[in-house]
Every structure is written in C-alpha cells, then in structure tokens.
Amino acid sequence: MLDEKKIGLIPRIIVRGAMGPKEYAVLVTDKRSIFVLESSSKAGIAGALGGVIGAAVAQAATSRRTFDYENSDLDALANDPKNFTVPHQSLERMEMKKGMIGPLHQFNIHYKTEEGKGKKVKGQLSPPPELFRQRKKEGVSGGTIHHDYATKVQEVYQRALPATILASIAVWKQ
C-alpha cells in the first residue's frame, strides 16, 4: 500500500485454532493489522495421539518463524499464505478485557472480509517470555507485567486509528 506507515508491533498474541494455538506477532500500520505467524502448535494432533507420544509429536511439530519487522516489506508479509491481514476500514469492533482466571487479557477483533462476511479473531495477549523474565528480574509482579502489555497494545491502536473510529468500535476493559 502506498504511503503506509508502521505504527507499532505487538510481539505476541495467541490465537486458538482447531489444530491448537498459533502465536502471532501483529504489525500495525495506519491502514491495516498484519498478523504474522510466528509459531504454530500441532496440539490437536497430540491430543488425538495422547500421552507421552502425543506430547513428543506436538513438540516436534511446533514450528517457529522469525522476521526482521523493521526492514520487512509490508506487502510481502501480508501476502504470505501463513499470515492474515485485517484492513482497518473493515473493523467493526475491538474488545480487550482481562480474563476471569489469571492475568491474561482477551483481545478480540471483529471485521468484515472483502466479500462482506463477518470474521472474528479471538486471541490472548501474552507478553513474550523474554520480556516477562526481564520484568520479573526487575521485581515487577506477573499481573502488572500482563496489564502493562495490554496497555501497550491499546496504545498502539490508539496511535493507528482515528479517535472517532476508535471511540465507536473499541471496548477496553482492563
């Protein structure tokens, strides 16, 4: 897209799928959110196999990808078949709320596809393990680390979307 500006990176959101959880990084621009698959688990296969064998298969079948987001071409990331894109003009609702149990925050995005079909991304915000460990060493509680991470995600979208649109679609409950 022409004149597209990178606004921020959400380094980790976990999206549940039929075959197990998938870990995405979200590159947020002023025009779209590009969900870049970082890691996928084949936990669904492991569940079918069960036990130690299932766990070993799941570990072996987990794949991790890494990217240089600062220098990556936005269209190349958006066109990668393992990734998906949510154009900001298609957003209908964004919800963030703290989970009932534990410190994780739910982050849901409702949008319409180009064909006009309603879609929903249901994810959990989970700070990257390196960030979590670093903040723990600094004496910050786990709950505060998760809350701060959710707040940063909120700030990225506040910078990416016009205030009028954000006010009409965003529901932030922390």
pLDDT at 93: 96
pLDDT at 147: 93
Question: pLDDT tens digits, the chain, 174 residues: what are they?
Answer: 568 999 999 999 999 877 788 999 999 999 999 999 988 654 443 444 344 443 444 444 444 456 677 778 899 999 999 999 999 999 999 999 988 888 889 999 999 998 999 999 999 999 999 999 999 999 999 999 999 999 999 999 999 999 888 889 999 886
- Cα→Cα distances 25→3, 14, 47, 100, Å: 22, 9, 25, 24
Please report which residue ranges of the chain form alpha helices under DSSP H.
43-49, 51-61, 74-79, 129-137, 142-160, 163-169
pLDDT at 65: 54
Rounded to the nearest 5 degrees, what angle is found at the Cα of 43, between the Cα atoms of 72 and 108? 55
pLDDT at 102: 81
**Residue 11: Cβ within 10 Å count:** 20
pLDDT at 126: 92
What is the sign, positive or negative, of the torsion defined by CA atoms of 10, 16, 18, 19?
A: positive
pLDDT at 101: 80
Name the token pair of 55.
């766990």
